[in-house]
């Protein structure tokens, strides 16, 4: 087709997809083209603005590597990650809500036993975390695989350190026969997402901050139950209502109880402050 103009080009592009054999791909790309063209018309997109957008996405790709996933940060800060998560994980009332996965998960986190210190030298005030993993009818879930990861007191994950030679503040353990779990880590602190790249410049241009409220990441899997990817947020954090990635849910907020001194849950006697966190997870049955 020749001599296309701004009014006919959308239909011409869609016609080229008529022979696609993957119907789901065809549906997705068709909708994408329709919305993308409608967006350009709605804002009367200029060539200069189009070029700036291309440069921005190119920069996002260039800064992405094995330690940093700028595309996930972009998706997170635009609310797309949380939208997809919410649609994909609709759960019955009473089940623990899911939230964003984030860009700092790793597949090879070290294995720990209940009661171990997963901080493994990460900087921060000691914190003792415990709770129970249950099913939707209150049944304890034995042997659930619990993966936990968090930032240190400086606001960095272990993989963000260029000289990191070991994993810290992350690990894998399993729930006990009664569904309980417990481990030692460090107190979660608020931190900014990486904002020294294109996503950070975008946030700054939009008058937005890059901060996330303090939280622990959890991923819990068990046979017969849906995988749960979620956070536990620290009660009272100043960024709970303005999380840069829109991941906060009221049901996921819990108190970190601070103790000035005394005997910790593992029997250690502290002369300096430590905290405790208790949080139970309820998994949804898989279909």
**C-beta of residue 119 within 8 angstroms of C-beta of residue 179:** no
CATH 2.60.130.10 positions along the chain are 74-282
**C-beta of residue 163 within 8 angstroms of C-beta of residue 224:** no
Measured distance CA(188)–CA(177) in Å, rounded? 28
253-254 vs 228-234, strand pairing mode: parallel
Question: Closest by alpha carbon to 120, among 170, 165, 159?
Answer: 170
Measured distance CA(63)–CA(70) in Å, rounded? 7
**C-beta of residue 202 within 8 angstroms of C-beta of residue 221:** no
> What is the residue-averaged pLDDT of the chain?
95
Question: Could you identify the residue written with the tokens 């996503």?
Answer: 199
164 pLDDT band, cuts 50/70/90, is: low
pLDDT tens string 37-48: 999 999 999 999
Model pTM?
0.91
Alpha carbon 6 to its chain's center: 40
pLDDT tens string 24-76: 999 999 999 999 999 999 999 999 999 999 999 999 999 998 878 999 999 99
3 pLDDT band, cuts 50/70/90, is: confident
Specify burial of residue 192 (Cβ count, 10 A radius: 0-12, 13-18, 19+). middle
63-to-197, 199, 204 alpha-carbon distances in Å: 7, 10, 18
Residue 267, C-beta contacts closer than 8 angstroms, at least 6 positions apart: none
Tokens of 199: 């996503």
Mean pLDDT of 171-180: 98
Look at residue 67 in the predicted model and tell me its pLDDT.
Answer: 77
Measured distance CA(157)–CA(136) in Å, rounded? 32
**C-beta of residue 202 within 8 angstroms of C-beta of residue 52:** no
- The strand ranges marked E within the chain are 126-134, 145-149, 170-174, 180-186, 191-192, 211-212, 215-221, 228-234, 253-254, 257-259, 262-263, 269-270, 274-278, 281-282
Look at residue 1 in the predicted model and tell me its pLDDT.
Answer: 64
- Name the CATH superfamily, with its identifier, for domain 74-282: Aromatic compound dioxygenase (2.60.130.10)
């Amino acid at each position: 087709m020749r001599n296309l103009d701004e009014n006919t080009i959308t239909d011409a592009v869609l016609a080229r997809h008529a022979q696609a054999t993957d119907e789901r791909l065809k549906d997705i790309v068709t909708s994408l083209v329709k919305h993308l063209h409608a967006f350009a018309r709605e804002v009367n997109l200029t060539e200069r603005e189009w070029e700036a957008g291309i440069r921005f996405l190119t920069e996002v790709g260039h800064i992405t590597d094995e330690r940093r996933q700028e595309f996930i940060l972009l998706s997170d800060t635009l609310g797309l990650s949380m939208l997809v998560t919410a649609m994909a994980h609709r759960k019955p009332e009473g089940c623990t809500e899911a939230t964003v996965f984030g860009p700092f998960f790793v597949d090879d986190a070290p294995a720990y036993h209940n009661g171990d210190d997963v901080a493994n030298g990460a900087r921060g005030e000691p914190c003792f975390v415990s709770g129970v993993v249950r099913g939707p009818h209150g049944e304890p879930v034995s042997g659930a695989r619990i993966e936990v990861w968090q930032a240190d007191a400086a606001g960095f994950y272990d993989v963000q350190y260029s000289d990191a030679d070991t994993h810290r503040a992350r690990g894998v353990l399993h729930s006990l026969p009664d569904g309980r779990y417990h481990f030692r880590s460090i107190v979660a602190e608020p931190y900014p997402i990486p904002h020294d790249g294109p996503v950070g410049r975008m946030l700054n241009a939009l008058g937005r901050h890059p901060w996330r409220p303090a939280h622990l990441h959890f991923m819990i899997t068990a046979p017969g139950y849906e995988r749960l990817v979620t956070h536990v947020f620290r009660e009272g954090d100043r960024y709970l209502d303005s999380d840069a990635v829109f991941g906060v849910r009221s049901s996921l907020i819990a108190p970190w109880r601070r103790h000035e001194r005394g005997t910790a849950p593992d029997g250690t006697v502290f002369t300096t402050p430590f905290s405790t966190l208790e949080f139970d997870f309820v998994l949804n049955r898989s279909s």
